[in-house]
Amino acid sequence: MAKYEVNLKINNIPVTVEEGSTILDAAKKLNFRVPTLCQHPDLCVAGNCRVCVVEQKGAKALPAACATPVSEGMEIFTNSQKVRTARTHIIELLLSEHNSECTSCYKNGKCELQALANEYRVNENLFIKLVDKNTYTIDNFSPAIIKDDSKCIRCQRCVRTCASMQFVSALAVSHKGDKQKISTFFDKSMNDVVCTNCGQCVNRCPTGALVEKNYIDQVWDAVNNPKIHVVVQTAPSVRIGLGEDLGLEPGNRVTGKMVSALKRIGFDSVLDTDFSADLTIMEEGTELLTRLKKALVDKDETVALPMTTSCSPGWIKFIEHKYPSLLPNVSTCKSPQQMFGALAKTFYAQKKGLKVENMISVSIMPCTAKKYEADRPEMRSSGFKDVDYVLTTRELAMMIRQAGICFEDLPNEKYDSIMGESSGAAVIFGATGGVMEAALRTAYEIVTGREVPFANLDIVPVRGFEGIKEAKVLIKDVLPEWGFLEGAELSCAIAHGLANANKLMAAVVSGEVNYHFIEIMACPGGCLGGGGQPIPTSPEIRAKRMEAIYEEDANMAIRKSHENPEITAIYAEFLGKPNGHKSHELLHTHYVKRKGY
């Protein structure tokens, strides 16, 4: 049904928009920027910060542009004197309840409230500063996220993110009036509640109230210590996101420059998580085929199917809290980060003749949950903490700026060896559907001896931003040893964002759906939209990052995990075979049931 069009005037300029549009949409269409704080392109309308108020001719009150639908004949002024005065007061009121120690704030220079205060040249002393009168706690018990209530302006972006995008609701609004705050259950630490550490709230917090716990100083200490050998691994999505935090447009692929920058910062060896992503495909693919064989041939009814992926630590914590009965369905494979960490302090150390106690292993991740994952007690297969420090894409950008490196002018350099070689199948781990595509490219070929039947190996049905995707692959003319799969149709599903994951899991539990293999990523769009990626984020930005990921894949010489020569070599030299004894010792893990809040 066609939507009606509505005609209105903004700042005396006529504009026509679809009915149901907001004043903010109409203003945007005319390129008038109305400031916003609680509004976010990924979230529902809240209308609680009031900075987007505008003047409407004939109306007494100033409507909030983000929450007011347009109507026929409306005349709006986005920047009248009345609006400017009101807006300045609103910002001053917000600041009266905000700890404005900007110079020592982690978000200094990246804070939306600070930017507005700058733009509106606020008068600091007009309202009584309430911050000094209240007591606040800083919750820094979580290894991933710091919550500082003194910087919170109660815009509730985090609450909406946690509820609607992630279906976690670790954060909610508690108390009222001047006591109103964003709390967890009984105001416990974020570390003690259902929080998955996905960091989507951090991505959307306009101030410094929710930030990642940063390990920048520890990493500088390590790289500056000549006795320590520091290895760094970079996740697939970092190379397509990093540029945004260093002045480039979204969608820039900066792999070579990033490697260059890491070498200049002083890391002894710059290696690639993509290598262990390829390894994950070998391990997880083998695990899936083994489970299928047990179920189909041995008729073993204890085999848990569908099998789900385990790369996303946000997803792992989610299922541990919310669907503990499905834990046997989760692949026992560690995430690529942890596989890399375990191998860095065993295989790599042996090959390079290094003492493990003189090694520090750092990872650059698009993710805050990876910080929590690296801290899990299970992740010490080498006898040491396998990954010592996890930095987000944003922290790396900060280090690059601190190092005085002019990023745009850097030459493209190549990853070091060993554990620096990778395939296109690994880089697409960064996009929702990528692990599925990579797994299918390899598993199909193992079973049939032929490439997957898709042009250029691009398995298009598993790509894109649809919340839950499905794909079916018919397996025929198999190799003799895989006879039991002849004519079978492999049924797969993919979800990204935990709200979608929840829908899919509810359907699995109720038996409505029947899949063999499910890929889940906790963040919207997959890791490319991760909680450690540059801020801001929006559907448009994530779409550009996704394009860049598939471009990166298309430009790789090797496109399939099992063809990565370093993968073949590590199995021949060190691991034996996928899912073998050594693999189980180093590359696989187990999960724990957690409480429901």
Partner 1 sequence: MTDVNVIINEKIEKFGKERQALMPILQGIVADKNYITEDELLLVAETLDLSAADVYGTATFYTFLDVVPRGKYVIRVCKTISCHMAGKDQIIDTLEKTLSIKLGETTTDKKFTLLQANCMGWCHKGPVMLINDEVYPELTPEKAIAIIAEYIAK
Residues interacting with partner 1, by CB under 8 A? 163, 168-176, 183-187, 193-194, 596-597
Catalytic one of 311, 367, 492, 523: 311
Q: How far is the CB of 192 from partner 1 (least distance, A)?
A: 12
Q: Is 55 left (phi over 0), alpha (psi -120 to 50) or beta?
A: beta
Beta carbons of 526 and 498 less than 8 angstroms apart: no
List CB contacts of 101: < 8 A, sequence separation 6 or more.
none
**Is the Cβ of residue 24 or residue 190 nearer to partner 1 in the bound state?**
190
Question: Catalytic: 566?
Answer: no
Q: Which of the following is catalytic: 183, 237, 260, 331?
A: 331
Which residue type does 244 have?
Answer: E
Dist. CA 291–CA 306, nearest whole Å? 9
Catalytic residue among 213, 257, 345, 370: 370
Catalytic choice (92, 129, 188, 378): 378
DSSP state of 170: -
Active site residue 97: no
β-strand partners of 517 = 307, 492
Query: What is the closest distance, in whole angstroms, from the C-beta atom of residue 322 to partner 1 in the complex?
Result: 11
Catalytic residue among 55, 244, 287, 395: 287
Active site residue 269: no
Rounded CA separation 142/154 (Å): 21
Give the span between the Cα atoms of 596 and 372, in whole angstroms. Answer: 18
CA atoms within 13 A on the CB side of 303: 20
Shortest Cβ 594–partner 1 spacing (Å): 13
Please say whether the beta carbons of 471 and 518 come within 8 A. no
Q: How far apart are CA 52 and CA 67, in angstroms?
A: 9
CB of 183 to partner 1, least distance (A): 7
Q: Between residues 163 and 527, which has the closer beta carbon with respect to partner 1?
A: 163
- Cβ proximity to partner 1: between 168 and 485 the closer is 168
Helix, strand, coil percent content, the chain, rounded in steps of 5: 45, 15, 45
Residue 170 CB, nearest distance to partner 1 (Å)?
Answer: 6
Closer by beta carbon to partner 1, 142 or else 260: 142
Side chain identity at residue 167, one-letter code: F
DSSP assignment of 491-547 = EEEEEESHHHHHHHHHHHHHTS---SEEEEESSTTSGGG-TTSPSP--HHHHHHHHH
How many residues are recorded in the chain? Answer: 597
Cα gap 347→230, rounded to integer Å? 15
Give the residue among 409, 460, 91, 479 at the shortest CA–CA distance from 261.
409
User: Least Å distance between CB 315 and partner 1?
Assistant: 18
Q: What is the dihedral of CA 147, 153, 155, 159, to 10 degrees?
A: 20
Comparing C-alpha atoms, which of 407, 381, 382, 380 is closest to residue 393?
A: 407
- 10 vs 171, which CB is nearer to partner 1? 171
331: annotated active-site residue: yes
CB nearer to partner 1: pick between 188 and 294: 188
Token digits of residue 559: 């496109």
Residue (538 or 597) nearer to partner 1, CB: 597
Least distance CB 167 / partner 1 (angstroms): 9
Sequence-distant (≥ 6) Cβ neighbours of residue 513 within 8 angstroms: 493, 504, 507
Is the preceding omega at residue 336 within 30 degrees of 0, hence cis?
no
Q: In the numeric block, which tokens belong to residue 483?
A: 């006879």
CB of 256 to partner 1, least distance (A): 44
- Our CB check for partner 1 shows the closer of 133 and 176 to be 176
Q: Is 205 annotated in the active site? A: no
Nearer of residues 169 and 491 to partner 1, judged by Cβ: 169
> Shortest distance, CB of residue 361 to partner 1, whole angstroms?
35
Whether 381 is a known active-site residue: answer no
Shortest Å distance, C-beta 184 to partner 1: 5
Q: Mark whether 466 is an active-site residue.
A: no
Active-site annotation holds for 547: no
Instruction: Count CB neighbours of 302 within 10 A.
Output: 7
∠ Cα 37 41 44 (to 5°): 85
| CB closer to partner 1 out of 181 and 544 | 181
Contacts of 450 (CB under 8 A, 6+ apart): 444, 477
Q: Kindly calculate the radius of gyration of the chain based on its CA atoms and give it in whole angstroms.
A: 25
CA dist 349 and 9 (Å) reads 68
Catalytic residue annotation: 284, 287, 311, 331, 370, 373, 378, 527
